[in-house]
Amino acid sequence: MKSTFTKIALATAIFTTAFTSLASAKDNNTEKSVVIVHGAFADGSGWDKVVPLLQAKGLHVVTVQNPLSSLANDVDATTRAINAQKGSVVLVGHSWGGVVITEAGDNDKVKSLVYVAAFAPNEGESVTDLTKNLPKAPWVSSLIADSGGYVSLPPQVIAEYFAPDLSPAQTQVMAATQGPILAKSFDEKVHKAAWKAKPSWYLVASQDKMIEPSLQRQMAKKINAKTSSVNASHVPFISKPEEVAEVILAAAAAIK
């Protein structure tokens, strides 16, 4: 009988310790939010694998649905999401979203920036400026423009360049749900570079066919980011969600 009571007591102690550790981990993330800004030719639903990984650690997560109608409009949408949070914010941007967080990150609530295969311009720079000295990407000539000046990617380009490490079924869904972007947005220059005052993280997608990995590394160095790399296409948040979540969690953990 005594042995049985001892085993019960030991099991209770282990359970209590594990529960306390989990509660403590979540308490450490209390009032911390992650605001995710998607890129061009996409929407916020693409982050559906990363979001639950962050939520499991006690973080509040919001994905911004960018209108993709101008840099100013995307910054406004992101700023509203930031201001709606109760505490400190980790601001995450993918691709074009990196331009948006560079400008929108100049907000007192934003404590850290995370660039995921993203553009990281300086003040007075645009996407066009960042890529002007590089060979023209082969997918650019395949862009489809509508009568309003918005451009999108055909399904075959998404499969070959945007997300070649995903299944055909996944790329077909991405083609159907993509958000067209006003083409002249790529010429818009940022007015503020939040990375100059905020700690930054950069995840390089080493197999990216949309943004040259060499350019990603150059931008990461320029902004003095804590840099890591993942063996993935332009959409590591879909193909390698655990690696992406790990970088975001590191940025959140750095907030005191």
In whole angstroms, give the CA distance from residue 82 to residue 76.
10
Q: How far is CA 98 from the centre of its chain?
A: 8
- Give the per-residue pLDDT at 9: 42
- Give the per-residue pLDDT at 31: 87
Q: Has residue 28 got a pLDDT over 70? A: no
Instruction: Kindly report, residue by residue over 70-87, the tens digit of the pLDDT.
Output: 999 999 999 999 999 999
Amino acid (1-letter code) at residue 33:
S
For 6, 76, 242, the CA distances from 232, given in Å and listed in that order, are: 50, 30, 12
Token pair belonging to 44? 């916020």
H-run or E-run covering 16: helix 2-28
Q: What is the mean pLDDT of the chain?
A: 91
- Give the per-residue pLDDT at 11: 42
Say if CB 38 and CB 170 are below 8 A apart. Answer: no
The superfamily in CATH containing domain 31-253 is Alpha/Beta hydrolase fold, catalytic domain (3.40.50.1820)
Instruction: Kindly report, residue by residue over 117-143, the tens digit of the pLDDT.
Output: 999 999 999 999 999 999 999 999 999
In whole angstroms, give the CA distance from residue 156 to residue 165.
13
Instruction: Kindly report, residue by residue over 192-251, the tens digit of the pLDDT.
Output: 999 999 999 999 999 999 999 999 999 999 999 999 999 999 999 999 999 999 999 999
Cβ neighbours for 4, distance < 8 A, ≥ 6 positions apart: none
Instruction: Kindly report, residue by residue over 154-184, the tens digit of the pLDDT.
Output: 999 999 999 999 999 999 999 999 999 999 9
For 119, phi and psi rounded to 5 degrees? -75, 140
Instruction: Kindly report, residue by residue over 89-109, the tens digit of the pLDDT.
Output: 999 999 999 999 999 999 999
Token pair belonging to 57? 């650690």
Angle, helices 71-83 vs 96-104, to 10°: value is 60
